[in-house]
Amino acid sequence: MRIRPAITQRIAVSLLWAATAITLSALVFIVVYVLVHGLPRLTWTFLSEGPRSMGREGGILPMIVGTAWVAGLAVVIAAPIGVATAVFLTEYTRETRLTAIIRFGADCLAGIPSIIFGLFGFVFFVITLGMGLSVISGALTLAMMVLPTIIRTSEEAIRAVPRSYREVSFGLGSTRWQMVTWVVLRCALPGIGTGVVLSVGRSVSETAAVMLTAGSALGMPHSIFESSRTLALHFYILSREGISMANAYGTAATLIIVILAINIAAYWLMRRFVARAV
């Protein structure tokens, strides 16, 4: 009793189709649901004013600024360190027990729940280093959290650069550092960029870790040493404490639009860059 190959083929295609459709519809459903509830709230006043009475009224400008600060700073800190680590692991060391341990460590770091990062950031940056609940504490905590992503994606991208390119570069009299900067990083840039964009997305949407480190102040942060509430956390507090579901959806819609915009912009920039490097 063997099922005919033509039939198994049909079954397989329908199952694969179904899987793709489920993935896509989950995405579409979430985006549409949030936008339908949130878009009516998205007025210029909502985006350009500070919150009043705990966020029941008013807007979310301080949260937009806070999110930009915390997430931006986190990636600005993490990207150079992560790329440098990846370069060191791939170009400057041979595969030894040590590199295996470093890589394993990075992978473990990636698996730690964000609330634990938040706890560590609270104990270390906020209390021990005395930075208090502030933009910088939140940014440093998020930087540690996204570091493994940046290291791993950069490593993959660097490894994908053909070995022969390195040999050609050495053959033309480059030092190792020249080879890394002129050939390897230039070729790996789109891949590294993807990792960085993923990290921006993760930083923007992180809630638990920033709650414990950046705090939940409602005011506009005037320096990186002041506390600031991010969009994701604002949404959490508004909905969790039942302050205003309407404003919560407005915040969520903003968050989703920001993340979509970042991804689209990065994708566009990347394609443009790759086309120009040709």
Q: Which residues bind another protein (CB under 8 A)?
A: 94, 162, 164-175, 178, 182-183, 187, 277-278
Output the smallest distance, CB 215 to another protein, in A. Answer: 47
Output the smallest distance, CB 170 to another protein, in A. Answer: 6
Output the smallest distance, CB 167 to another protein, in A. Answer: 7
Output the smallest distance, CB 185 to another protein, in A. Answer: 13
Closer of 23 and 178 to another protein (Cβ): 178
Torsion of Cα atoms, 191 then 196 then 201 then 202, to 10°:
110
Output the smallest distance, CB 62 to another protein, in A. Answer: 45
Gap between the Cα atoms of 79 and 95, Å rounded: 23
Closer of 113 and 162 to another protein (Cβ): 162
Closer of 171 and 242 to another protein (Cβ): 171
Output the smallest distance, CB 130 to another protein, in A. Answer: 47
Gap between the Cα atoms of 108 and 103, Å rounded: 9
Closer of 139 and 184 to another protein (Cβ): 184
Closer of 8 and 178 to another protein (Cβ): 178
Closer of 128 and 164 to another protein (Cβ): 164
Please enumerate in sequence order all residues whose Cβ is within 8 A of that of 134, keeping only pairs 6 or more positions apart, or say none: 126, 213, 214, 215, 224, 225, 226, 227, 228
